[in-house]
A and B are shown apart, each in its own frame.
Chain A
Amino acid sequence: MHNELLIACHECDVLHRIGRVPEGDSAICRRCGAVLFSHKKDSLDRSLALTLAGLLLFIIANAYPLLEIKLEGLYQATNLFGGVKVLYSGGYWEIALLVLCTAILFPFLELLIKLYILLPMKLNRRPWKMISLLNFLETIKPWGMMEVFMLGILVSVVKLLKMMTVIPGHSLYAFFVLIFVMAAGTASFDTHEIWEKAGDS
């Protein structure tokens, strides 16, 4: 445990000497108000549990149909990957790639890497290649856009309801819960502590 920690604000560069931050509290930059560091409560157990739940929900969300429509006897169902395929075959490979990465690939990798890092840490072991994977996690994190995709689903449903019958698929419920689980997972993941652990080799 560190008694004092010297830290520079990442938004305005002012140096701070931080003493012990109580669990659940954050240290705030005295000049610009940016969050310097938060001591997350029960971080390891919570983020591990939320990551496992997230992976399970993610698989359900992508394995079953998301939405089904009915119009004059015709029927069509899709999940997210079906949408990516349609864009790709329609010649819009750039958008297909962007949607694939932001709504499927990066959120999935984020969950997998978190599990890979957190599980050995729980067992007091150091995950192999921890630093490279943490670097990769920091790179893809801003590009995972699950919550934006959820809003996209809601807008689509309202649009479609004006024209035809829409039946929510199983995966829609899984998606809905997944958004909250992923948000809670991000909030409980203590990046600072994990980098500290990665640093002592």
Chain B
Amino acid sequence: MIVTELKTAKNSSMAACRRCHLLCRISESGDRKIIDCPRCGAEIHQRIPGSIQRTWALVIAALIFYIPANLLPISITSALGSSEGDTIMSGVIYFIQSGSWYIALVIFVASIFVPVLKILILFFLLVSVQLKIRWRPLERTRLYRIIEAIGRWSMVDIFVITIMAALIKLGGLADFEAGPAAAYFAAVVVLTILAAMSFDPRLIWDSMEDQHE
């Protein structure tokens, strides 16, 4: 690989529009809004303004909502007069015990593993960018791509609850309702997706250039 000076938009007085990817020549640099994109009208910055602060805020908010999302019941099933609340984890355990390990696996991965993984990776990326660590930028960019791609799959449980709540409406015989954790869980999913969107992966590479100067 050629390790000679790679020109970036930032050190060539240019900036790319984040929405339509048009490359513009600019007179000043920094994270503030410089101009509006001449093609699509979006604000052009060299880096997303306040990316680190905003991502931190969203990750911390997601982490806080993650607690009630796991402790409160996510669904309430009533059959023949008795009703029972299920948390995400008790649902997973129920499916392991009743032999449907693949359902247990889908719910465990989508509802427990993926949100935790996203929060941990974002923590790691934020800390590594703030400490200007030069360790393996390529692998860190890959981690960013992973969380960007898998975040949406956490919505699976919300869709399952929607379908079950609509179908299991059999009067006194069987009834299925969403529980209070569902709203918290939906908030975790939305907040982690927003956090991944507000993180600017170019910050990972900026510390590589700083050292050249």
Binding site for B on A (CB under 8 A): 6-8, 10-15, 30-34, 66-67, 69, 71-72, 74, 76-78, 80, 82-87, 90, 92, 94-95, 98-99, 102-103, 131, 134-135, 138, 142, 145, 148-149, 151-153, 155-156, 158-160, 162-163, 192, 195, 198-199
Contacts and interface: CB of A to CB of B under 8 A. Distances in A.
Task: Name which of A11, A99, A151, A152 has the most chain B CB atoms within 10 A of its CB.
Answer: A152
Interface in B123-170: 137-138, 141, 144-145, 152-153, 155-170
A150 to B, nearest CB: 9
A98 B158 contact: yes
A98 B161 CA distance: 13
Interface string B166-181: 1111110110011000
A82 B166 contact: yes
B210 to A, nearest CB: 13
Contacts of A67: 163, 167
B106 A155 contact: yes
Contact of B21 (A74, A102, A195): A195
A76 B164 CA distance: 11
B149 to A, nearest CB: 11
A163 B94 CA distance: 14
Interface string B1-21: 110001111101011101111
B204 interface: yes
B160 A155 contact: yes
Given A14-B7, A76-B167, A95 B183 contact: yes
Contacts of A135: 19, 40-42
Contacts of A66: 163
A42 B10 CA distance: 34
Task: Name which of A6, A135, A159 has the most chain B CB atoms within 10 A of its CB.
Answer: A159
A95 B201 contact: no
Nearest to B100: A158
Interface residues on B, range: 35 or more
6 contacts: A31-B6, A33-B141, A78-B167, A83-B162, A148-B155, A156-B167
B141 to A, nearest CB: 5
B20 A195 contact: yes
B165 A199 contact: no
A87 B74 CA distance: 13
B151 to A, nearest CB: 9
Contacts of B1: 30
Contacts of A131: 39-41
Given A8-B8, A10-B18, A163-B174, 17 more contacts: A8-B15, A11-B201, A12-B202, A15-B12, A77-B167, A83-B165, A86-B165, A90-B165, A98-B186, A131-B39, A135-B41, A152-B155, A152-B159, A159-B100, A160-B164, A162-B98, A192-B21
A49 to B, nearest CB: 25
Given A71-B174, A151-B153, A7 B160 contact: no
B191 interface: no
A69 B167 contact: yes
Nearest to A72: B173
A15 B10 CA distance: 9
Contacts of A94: 183, 186-187
Given A98-B158, A158-B103, A7 B23 contact: yes
Given A10-B18, A148-B152, A159 B159 contact: no
B56 interface: no
B193 interface: yes
Contacts of B187: 94
Contacts of A72: 173
Nearest to B183: A94
B93 interface: no
Contacts of A138: 19-20
A15 B211 CA distance: 19
